[in-house]
Structure 1
């Protein structure tokens, strides 16, 4: 392998949120940036032992464009291709838009930029989610206050009425009114809680959070459910509200465990808690050098298709008797840590992906 030329010349590419490779006209790698390393999932040193063409399902468009740019036939070449997640396998694929540009006229180095076609879609989805959360906050706050004010009057009137009634049968009716008013009051308090509860900021270890959630889930579902841990122990602590993050992860894990009821009965239910570090992540139009990525995966039936796009909306639930607040609160708590949360669900596998910036 040829030594990497002038490393400092290409260091700025590590600051980009897109994949960049510097190659020779024959496709030999001279440099890959941090985002390329992150997407490939292997170290830069290992990457440098491969050729750029090894990472494409069809190598011909890349080879032809590299040759055309190197011969000065075109200044910049563009094409859409399919990148492989591993050079030896085409099973995990990533559609990309490829831009090939010559660095120096007559030189032997060519810059290849690879833009995930899904990246723009993901950013648009994050922006919509942020806007939706703000709308949800205003809706919940206004709705909760509109409910809370007359609710106190209803409960008070029922109590006064109960004091004037001597009939036991009629007293049962007033007790129902008081009981239901209290239940609605508790619901309103849960709606308002994340917006008025102060942050308790401290150093948070994400694996302590995961272990706490794991112990709570296994205490409630001691048989038929396996909770597998796949941790990257190198992840540093970060500043945050530990209790809020426990609640966010617990809400997701608990929903997953409830969705696994049939598999728990069969004894083959699986819940996976996986942590990784990702680099050069863009969240809400801000780029972060490092971020924590937490996956909460299950092998359940998946999120019902009719609510898949609305699962983070308040009062939307795919389970009879569900309040529809668990995922809304989880999203609120994660976004209060400048993070984002997404869900990818198919029958047999549901993955919730939480991304939180690291220092």
Structure 2
């Protein structure tokens, strides 16, 4: 739509470069300009928006009208409130509305921020803070645990050499085994922060096919892994092995959560790839992004851990280490992307977003 825009004064044309939705209304509340982001959001061209009454595009139009009247009466310089924009063809878009005066008499700027986008940015900031804190925690943890572990293991080995009885040696073997297990746990915590990335051209469908073959080899019966690929997605620069590990961790978690359905023979995991346009990740706007969904028909993520599922050592499964999703999120973040979760009983969707060139 934006490519065929009607010429406007330069002060309006600049609004087309913004990711947020913007409308400029005249004294009578009629839209004299709507930017490209607003067109895309409501599903109408500028020809269908400009010249209409802006309040008619809102489910709560009376509230917008009060705000416009207040701006025209100089009761405030800017007003903020939450409303609902009506999408053409049905559906409401929750938005944060900012109504502000302009230098031209009677003209008012209305800026609309999707509430979902704002909430998502808040989640991304919290996640980034947690990732930085985890990185420092892991480094300190390694220092505090690795040296004592080596001493414990070495002492157990020396003690085993002095013991003649087989029963007593079983105790030293327990010590050695548990020391090795803890060492492996620490190594896994540090893995994404220790090794250099091997960057090259990545085909996301080669990644998906590798993961699919690995999971079906482990669960050969009772599980169906469905492909739903957009084969037009271009290659991008990234670490192929990191991405394989990230997707494998998510798919493997899904397969383990499907244990009961696998036993019944009706378990399903869907690998779905799509291209998203004009995506904001970490306050950075990207023209294109890869969207990879891993969807399963399992019981869903427990509500008690849903908000903490990417934190280290948080697991909803007995015997789980709680590291798989933490590592997956870290690997994806190193590609300037993120993983999001939408889960309810019968459908869990892990969505990976990675910017494309």
Query: Which of the residues 254, 257, 260 maps onto 1:259?
Result: 257
| Residue of structure 2 equivalent to 1:94 | 93
Instruction: Normalising by structure 1, report the TM-score.
Output: 0.82
The unaligned stretches of length 5 or more in structure 1 are none
Query: Which of the residues 156, 167, 174 maps onto 1:158?
Result: 156
Change (3 A) 1:112 1:189: same
Cα shift readout 1:263-313 (whole Å, capped 9, x = no counterpart): 333333332223333334333333333322222222222111111121111
Query: Which of the residues 13, 31, 50 maps onto 2:15?
Result: 13
Q: Contact (CA 8 Å) 2:55, 2:64: kept in 1 or not?
A: no
Change (3 A) 1:221 1:32: farther
Structure 2: distance between partners of 1:266 and 1:223: 10
Query: Which of the residues 345, 348, 354 maps onto 1:347?
Result: 345
Structure 1: distance between partners of 2:79 and 2:128: 35
Structure 2: distance between partners of 1:64 and 1:283: 33
| Residue of structure 1 equivalent to 2:177 | 179
Deviation at 1:147, TM superposition (A): 1.5
| Residue of structure 1 equivalent to 2:36 | 33
Aligned residues: 348
Structure 2: distance between partners of 1:252 and 1:159: 37
Deviation at 1:27, TM superposition (A): 6.8
Deviates more, 1:144-153 or 1:15-24: 15-24
Per the alignment, in what secondary structure is the counterpart of residue 237 of structure 2? strand
Greater RCO, 1 or 2 (C-alpha within 8 Å, sep 6+): 1
Change (3 A) 1:11 1:281: farther
Superposition pairs of residues 1-359 of structure 1, within 5 angstroms: 4-6=5-7, 9=10, 12-20=14-22, 32-34=35-37, 37=40, 39=41, 47=45, 51=49, 58=59, 60-61=61-62, 64=65, 80-84=82-86, 87-90=88-91, 93-99=92-98, 112-359=110-357
Deviation at 1:314, TM superposition (A): 1.0
Q: Contact (CA 8 Å) 1:344, 1:352: kept in 2 or not?
A: yes
Per the alignment, in what secondary structure is the counterpart of residue 5 of structure 1? coil
Deviates more, 1:129-138 or 1:20-29: 20-29
